[in-house]
A and B are shown apart, each in its own frame.
Chain A
Amino acid sequence: MIEVRGLTKRYRDHVAVKDLTFRVEPGEVVGFLGPNGAGKSTTMRILAGYMPATAGEVKVAGIDVFEDPMGVKRRIGYLPEIPPIYLDMTVSGYLGFVARLKGVPRRELKAEIHRVAELGGVDHILPRLIRNISKGYRQRVGISQALLRDPDVLILDEPTVGLDPIQIEQVRRLITDLGASKKHTIILSTHILSEVKATCERIIMIAGGDIVANAKLDDLEREHNAPLEEIFTKLAVS
Chain B
Amino acid sequence: MSNAITIAKKELGIYFTTIIGYVGFGAFAFLMGLVFVTTLNRYQQMTQYYLGQQQPQLLQQLNFNDQIIQPMLSTGYWMFLFFVPFLTMRLFAEEKSARTFELLMTAPVTSFEIVLGKFMGVGVMMLIMSLIPLAFPLILHMYGTSSGPGSAVEWMPVYSGTLVVLLLGLTFCAIGLFISSLTENQIVAAVLTFAVLLLAFVIPLIAGRLDGDWRVIVEYISPMSHVNRGVVGRILLSDLVYFGSVISFLLFLTLRVVESHRWR
Residues of A within 8 A of B (CB): 45, 48-52, 69-70, 73-74, 76, 78, 80, 82, 84-90, 93, 97-98, 100-103, 129, 145
Q: Does B54 contact A (CB under 8 A)?
A: no
Residues of B within 8 A of A (CB): 2-3, 6-7, 10, 13-14, 17-18, 98-110, 261-264
> Closest A-chain residue to B9, C-beta based?
A97
B180, chain A: closest CB distance, angstroms: 16
> Closest A-chain residue to B103, C-beta based?
A84
B207, chain A: closest CB distance, angstroms: 42
Q: Given A88-B14, A89-B14, A100-B6, do A50 and B98 touch, yes or no (CB 8 Å)?
A: no
Measured between alpha carbons, how far is A50 from B110 in the docked complex, in Å? 12
Instruction: Decide if B99 touches A82 in the complex (CB within 8 Å).
Output: yes
Instruction: Decide if A89 touches B13 in the complex (CB within 8 Å).
Output: yes
Q: Given A51-B264, A86-B14, A93-B13, do A101 and B107 touch, yes or no (CB 8 Å)?
A: yes
Instruction: Decide if A101 touches B109 in the complex (CB within 8 Å).
Output: yes
Instruction: Decide if B107 touches A52 in the complex (CB within 8 Å).
Output: no
Select one of A88, A93, A102 contacting B108, CB under 8 A: A102
Show 26 A/B contacts (Cβ-Cβ < 8 Å), sorted by A: A45-B102, A48-B106, A49-B105, A51-B264, A73-B107, A73-B108, A74-B108, A76-B106, A80-B99, A80-B102, A82-B99, A84-B101, A85-B98, A86-B10, A86-B98, A88-B17, A89-B13, A89-B17, A90-B17, A97-B10, A100-B3, A101-B6, A101-B104, A102-B107, A102-B108, A145-B103
Instruction: Decide if A98 touches B14 in the complex (CB within 8 Å).
Output: no
B122, chain A: closest CB distance, angstroms: 15
Chain A hits for B99, CB < 8 A: 80, 82, 84
Q: A69-B262, A73-B107, A100-B6 are in contact. List 4 more A-B contacts (CB 8 A).
A: A70-B110, A73-B106, A84-B102, A88-B18
Chain A hits for B106, CB < 8 A: 48-50, 73, 76, 78, 80
Q: Given A89-B10, A89-B14, do A98 and B100 touch, yes or no (CB 8 Å)?
A: no
Instruction: Decide if B103 touches A98 in the complex (CB within 8 Å).
Output: yes
Select one of A52, A73, A89, A102 contacting B263, CB under 8 A: A52
> Closest B-chain residue to A155, C-beta based?
B106
Measured between alpha carbons, how far is A98 from B107 in the docked complex, in Å? 8
A110, chain B: closest CB distance, angstroms: 16
The dominant DSSP class at the B interface is helix
Instruction: Decide if A52 touches B103 in the complex (CB within 8 Å).
Output: no
Select one of B7, B17, B100, B108 contacting A129, CB under 8 A: B17
B13, chain A: closest CB distance, angstroms: 7
B260, chain A: closest CB distance, angstroms: 11
Instruction: Decide if A101 touches B102 in the complex (CB within 8 Å).
Output: no
Chain B hits for A86, CB < 8 A: 10, 14, 98, 100
> Closest B-chain residue to A93, C-beta based?
B13
> Closest A-chain residue to B113, C-beta based?
A101
Chain B hits for A49, CB < 8 A: 105-106
Measured between alpha carbons, how far is A86 from B7 in the docked complex, in Å? 13
Select one of B6, B7, B100, B262 contacting A85, CB under 8 A: B100
Chain B hits for A98, CB < 8 A: 103, 107
Instruction: Decide if A103 touches B10 in the complex (CB within 8 Å).
Output: no
> Closest A-chain residue to B18, C-beta based?
A88
B94, chain A: closest CB distance, angstroms: 9
Chain B hits for A103, CB < 8 A: 108
Instruction: Decide if A52 touches B6 in the complex (CB within 8 Å).
Output: no
Measured between alpha carbons, how far is A85 from B6 in the docked complex, in Å? 16
Chain B hits for A89, CB < 8 A: 10, 13-14, 17
B256, chain A: closest CB distance, angstroms: 16
Instruction: Decide if A101 touches B3 in the complex (CB within 8 Å).
Output: yes
Measured between alpha carbons, how far is A69 from B111 in the docked complex, in Å? 12
